[in-house]
Structure 1
Amino acid sequence: MKILYLTDQTYLHGGIEKVLSQKANYFADISGDEVTIVTYNQQGKIPVYPFSEKIRMIDLGINYEISRSYFHPFNLRKIPQHRFALQNVLRDLQPDVVISSSFGPDFYFIPSVEKQIPKIKEFHATRHFSNKPISIKDKILKTFTEKIERSYKALVLLNDDEIPFYKSNNYIIIPNPTEVHERSCELSTNKIIAAGRISRQKNFEELLEIFNNVIQDFPGWEVHIYGDDYLGRRVEIEKRIKELSLEKNFIFKGVTSDLKNTFLNYSIYAMTSIHETFPMVLLEALSVGLPIISYDCPTGPSRIIQNNEDGFIIPNKNPINFTEQLKRLMGDEQLRKTMGLQAKKNAARFEISVVMQQWKDLFKNLTS
């Protein structure tokens, strides 16, 4: 089968880029499909995650200005060029299916390009906070977006909690995949890990305050944060770290391209996000037997973590309960190891061969 993925770029660290590499590599190397990835903002940069040599990579070279809205005149004028370039690629390659991975201006015109080719739109972000229009402009855009969504052959959502936010009935639930690691965390170090772009959405500042409440009882412990800075957020948090005199205990470690192996050196994964959809980082934590403590934020962690089995789901925005359960994990190595064993078992639900079979079935239904 000829499979074509569309995305903005593959050079930034992120969940979309990570899962795209996993799925594309699976189809190319395991299933033997002909896979093409088409980007429009690659700018000649090297992909951050490894892609199979069998995959064809094409960049359209549109290069939108991502610091501006896609509706800014600078970006709007590039849309005709984008549509024309994409049409030429689809016309030449004639893929059996097209999957749109990221969200950009092409979302609105993909279904109308080479209409005979089935188009699939996959969503990686929650609509929990964006489904209530607050202006006439928002209402018009929302109505137009819903119309476009109905023109895709399928909308792929990551979990059932997202269903109420979509008006069309062409959706299907397919979670992100993971590969269960052959190694497991020893869970004996005094180190907690968290990962993700350093933004307000990840809410690392609350993790800092929680850790400040436990450090007196566990003075030898550390929290390490892995991820890219976003709009100078790291500097703001580091200022608070200095105020609390936690420079040696709460540490930003930069970026790692091999998070699973990095996890092996830690004993707890902590998530204090304001919202998530289906965070890849939690799947990867389970796959190496790393117990998790996470807020029950909209809309993903509770679909991944089995509460009291492989981790703790904390009522959302309840730092007192988070602190209590974190202390419990930190103080009980045997509990961590019991949860770690269960984590690897539970990760099998999302094993890549299981998830990719769902994608194969979808392709078969759309092309038969």
Structure 2
Amino acid sequence: MKLLYIVPKIKNAGGVARVLSIKANYFIENFGYEVHILSQNEETDLSFYNFNSKVVFHNMILKGNTFQFLKSYTKEVKQKIKQINPDVILVADNGLKAFVFPFIIKTKTPIVFECHGSKFIEEQSQKTNLLSKLIQKLKYRFKDFAVRRFTKIVALSDESLQEWNVENGVVIPNPSWIQTKNFTDLKNKKVITAARNSYEKGLDRLLLIWKKAGEKHPDWTLDIYTDDIESLEKKAISLGIKSGINYFKFVNNIEENYLEASIYAMTSRTEGFPMVLLEAMALGLPCIAYDCPIGPRTIITNAENGFLIHDNNEEMFVEKLSFLIENEEVRSKFSLNAKKTSQQFNIDKVMKMWETFLENLNLGNSF
């Protein structure tokens, strides 16, 4: 089978790139599929994650205003579909152009929208005036209308699928890819997080939390792996945080860094199905996260393998984080349950779901 993935970026250190590297490699190495990935404006970039050498990368250069951008996008995609002649097209993009896709690309090839984020994802804080609210409402309604034009939508959880309320949807979670017998011993006085420094990922909220939790526990440190250290560090200094945080650039093999920590913290404003939580749990890390739309609650069971905090309840987050810091016995209990949780998303099990889905789709079966 020949697959064509269409994504904004694939060579960066983002979660979608991580997931697609895992799945693309598995498709090739276990099912013998041919995998093509079309991204934009990444002509000379090297891949951050390790892709099988048989993955075929394609790049489209898109520039100009919205009209010029969309015109080039349509032309480039049509050319690649004609050149590659895929059996299935998978669109993994949270941007509005993804929802325009089924209107501008006319093909008999099945088109799948692979949903990696909440329907309500935003790249920046939204204005509250009447016009802004109206535009936002129209945007969500357009998404609802457009998603029904895809052959299928693959959501990462039941909660995600419920956001879209469609009849053409199926649920296939992200796979837990880490297979190891090494687990954190929970002895190091260290909290860890890994996320882009973007509005969506909410590292600014984590700084506010750590300002209080760090002052209460000065012998603990927070390690942040991110893409924009400079602006994040400036933000911390502006908050009066001058110590207790270590900043690092993203690393490929972050599992080694998870093993050196005792707690994983997430403060995203929206999520899809956060791979970092699965990775952390696979290595025995108890997790604490805001119960944002929509991913953390699929993975974290409150007070069993971690803590889910009502979204934006900063005081409760500080309280529960401090509780985990102070109680090694609770961390150990959560750690055992976290390992069991990660096993529910075993990569072989999840990829078998993908194989069945794609084979049925290619045969034109209804399911």
Distance 1:138 1:294 in 2: 26
Distance 1:259 1:348 in 2: 19
Deviations 1:200-224 (A, max 9, x none): 3333343333333334553311011
Deviates more, 1:20-29 or 1:249-258: 249-258
Distance 1:206 1:35, change over 3 A: closer
User: Quick one: which of 230, 245, 248 aligns to 1:250?
Assistant: 245
Distance 1:318 1:150, change over 3 A: closer
TM-score normalised by length of structure 2: 0.87
User: Counterparts of 1:32-111 in structure 2 under 5 Å?
Assistant: 32-60=32-60, 62-64=61-63, 74-104=65-95, 105=97, 107-110=99-102
Could you list the runs of 5+ residues in structure 2 that have no partner in the other structure? 123-129
The 8 Å contact of residues 201 and 269 in structure 2, kept in 1 or not, is answered as yes
Could you list the runs of 5+ residues in structure 1 that have no partner in the other structure? 65-72
Distance 1:346 1:290 in 2: 11
Q: Find the residue that maps to 1:202 and give its secondary structure.
A: coil
Partner of 2:105: 113
Distance 2:142 2:229 in 1: 30
Distance 1:329 1:135 in 2: 39
Distance 2:133 2:192 in 1: 40
User: Counterparts of 1:137-216 in structure 2 under 5 Å?
Assistant: 142-166=140-164, 168-182=166-180, 183-216=182-215
Partner of 1:68: none
Distance 1:145 1:325, change over 3 A: closer
Deviation at 1:142, TM superposition (A): 4.8
Distance 1:330 1:46 in 2: 39
User: Quick one: which of 278, 281, 286 aligns to 1:286?
Assistant: 281
Q: Find the residue that maps to 1:109 and give its secondary structure.
A: helix
Distance 2:211 2:245 in 1: 9
Amino-acid identity (%): 31
Deviation at 1:351, TM superposition (A): 1.6
User: Quick one: which of 286, 300, 307 aligns to 1:305?
Assistant: 300
Partner of 2:127: none
TM-score normalised by length of structure 1: 0.87
Give the letter for the 1:271 counterpart: M
Partner of 2:355: 360
Deviation at 1:327, TM superposition (A): 2.1
User: How many corresponding residue pairs?
Assistant: 355
User: Aligned Cα RMSD in Å?
Assistant: 2.6
Distance 2:135 2:18 in 1: 34
Give the letter for the 1:152 counterpart: F
1:351 aligns with 2:350: no
Distance 1:346 1:74, change over 3 A: same
Deviation at 1:322, TM superposition (A): 2.1
Deviation at 1:197, TM superposition (A): 1.0
1:125 aligns with 2:117: yes
Partner of 1:10: 10
Give the letter for the 1:225 counterpart: I
The 8 Å contact of residues 116 and 272 in structure 2, kept in 1 or not, is answered as yes
Deviation at 1:290, TM superposition (A): 0.7
Deviates more, 1:205-214 or 1:323-332: 205-214
Distance 1:216 1:148 in 2: 48
The 8 Å contact of residues 3 and 98 in structure 1, kept in 2 or not, is answered as yes
Deviation at 1:321, TM superposition (A): 2.5
Q: Find the residue that maps to 1:307 and give its secondary structure.
A: coil
